[in-house]
């Protein structure tokens, strides 16, 4: 086993590096406080270690060592549960919640990232066993880049165009362009909404996008991200300021209404663009024959 | 656990009581201005939303 020690250490190092690299883009998905980092990096080290040992063990004809990988799978399923539980609990005290779909997406991502770490470590040790350490390290880094690209996911920017809308009242009905948002009874609230509120329209690019944006979880995710990035004046017991997304049933475009802390329409549009498209919300009617026929 | 009545009319505020019937709390006021004020107070107290039925009747609904 002596000759493999360097390879195993390399595998663990590159795997851990992969986990740290993937933590980088967590700023919105999770309130990334130091302890969260520690938890995930430690689990990343464990994942890397498990995967790094696998190949050398097989080379030494220790076939039972592979069963360790099943323990890993079990272990990482618990991460999903852990994330889901934490985020769901935090949700109860949140004014603009993420919604279950978003939380499920985040939890799934956290689980999957550990499998990616194992993949990176396996590639690293695999190449290192059959060639040399340097090539192993290089291929490990390449695997990090590839997994990063593969796991990037889509954003609202890819499926929709966002434009400023005209926020106005039709008697007591608050509207963005021709889409009714809600009935606001108080004159004082109406004045404040007109002064400080912002309305934007999200135009889906095609029928796939329309179906995806139709998903309530996806809409809640957009509302959450916008409120998190530009702030919302919503307060307990004052539902008049609730940010809302409503659909034009004829065209599928969405109208978003929010009273932001900072009334900067470009930032709001950018915040919408940056919202991830949830895996569970994504629909592709156009990839079926019926969907394509119906759309023309 | 919080228990609340949701999506039902909690109260009605109006200066025209003849426009409302049924088993619901009606706050009868002198004029529309007072209705507006009472509706605002009720909405803050009940943490609910004021909706205007555009005939001088305001309803308080918790969503």
In whole angstroms, what is the distance from residue A222 CA to residue A231 CA?
13
Name which residue leads in pLDDT, A87 or A166. A166
CB A277 within 8 A of CB A153: yes
pLDDT at A250: 93
A172 contacts on B by Cβ (under 8 Å):
51-52, 54
> pLDDT by residue (tens digit) across B8-17?
899 999 999 9
Chain-chain contact of A186 with B50 (C-beta, under 8 angstroms): yes
B59 contacts on A by Cβ (under 8 Å):
185
Is A66 a residue whose pLDDT tops 80?
A: no
CB A133 within 8 A of CB A280: no
Give how far Cα A288 sits from Cα of A175, A257, A279, A282, Å: 35, 34, 18, 14
Mean pLDDT of A23-32: 60
Percentage of chain A lying above the pLDDT 70 cut: 96
In whole angstroms, what is the distance from residue A290 CA to residue A111 CA?
35
CA distance A186 to chain B (A): 6
What is this model's ipTM? 0.88
Look-up: residue for tokens 């009273």? A259
> pLDDT by residue (tens digit) across A120-135?
999 999 999 898 899 9
pLDDT at A64: 83
The total number of residues shown for chain A amounts to 296
In whole angstroms, what is the distance from residue A66 CA to residue A53 CA?
9
Please choose, from the candidates A10, A22, A14, the residue with its C-alpha nearest in 3D space to the C-alpha of residue A113.
A22
> pLDDT by residue (tens digit) across A68-92?
778 878 888 888 898 899 889 988 8
pLDDT at B29: 95
Domain ranges of chain B: 9-61
CB A259 within 8 A of CB A199: no
Per-residue tokens: B7 = 């999506």
Of these ranges, A20-24, A52-56, A215-219, the one predicted with the greatest mean pLDDT is A215-219
pLDDT at B25: 92
């Amino acid at each position: 086993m002596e000759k493999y020690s360097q390879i195993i250490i390399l595998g663990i190092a590159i795997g851990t590096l992969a986990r740290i690299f993937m933590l980088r883009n967590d700023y919105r998905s999770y309130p990334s406080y130091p302890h969260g980092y520690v938890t995930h990096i430690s689990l990343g080290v464990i994942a890397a270690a498990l995967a790094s040992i696998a190949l050398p063990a097989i080379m030494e004809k220790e076939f039972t060592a592979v069963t360790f990988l099943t323990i890993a799978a079990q272990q990482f399923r618990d991460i999903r549960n852990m994330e889901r539980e934490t985020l769901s609990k935090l949700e109860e005290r949140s004014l603009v919640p993420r919604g279950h779909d978003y939380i499920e997406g985040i939890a799934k991502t956290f689980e999957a990232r550990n499998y990616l770490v194992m993949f990176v470590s396996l590639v690293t040790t695999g190449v290192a066993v059959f060639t040399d350490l340097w090539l192993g390290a290089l291929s490990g880094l390449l695997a990090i880049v590839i997994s990063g690209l593969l796991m990037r996911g889509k954003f609202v920017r890819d499926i929709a165009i966002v434009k400023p809308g005209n926020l106005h009242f039709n008697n007591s009905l608050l509207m963005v362009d021709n889409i009714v948002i809600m009935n606001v009874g108080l004159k004082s609230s109406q004045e404040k909404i007109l002064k400080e509120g912002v309305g934007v329209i999200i135009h889906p690019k095609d029928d796939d996008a329309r179906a995806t944006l139709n998903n309530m979880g996806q809409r809640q995710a957009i509302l959450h991200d916008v409120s998190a990035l530009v702030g919302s004046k919503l307060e307990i017991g004052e539902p008049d300021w609730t940010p809302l997304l409503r659909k034009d049933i004829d065209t599928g475009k969405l109208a978003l209404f929010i009273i932001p802390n900072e009334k900067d329409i470009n930032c709001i549009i950018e915040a919408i663009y940056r919202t991830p498209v949830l895996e569970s919300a994504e629909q592709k009617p156009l990839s079926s024959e019926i969907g394509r026929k119906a759309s023309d | 656990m919080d228990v609340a009545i949701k999506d039902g009319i909690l109260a009605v505020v109006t200066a025209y009581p003849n426009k409302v019937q049924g088993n619901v709390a009606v706050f009868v006021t002198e004029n529309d201005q007072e209705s507006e004020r009472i509706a605002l107070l009720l909405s803050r107290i009940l943490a609910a939303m004021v909706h205007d039925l555009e005939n001088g009747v305001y309803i308080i609904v918790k969503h």
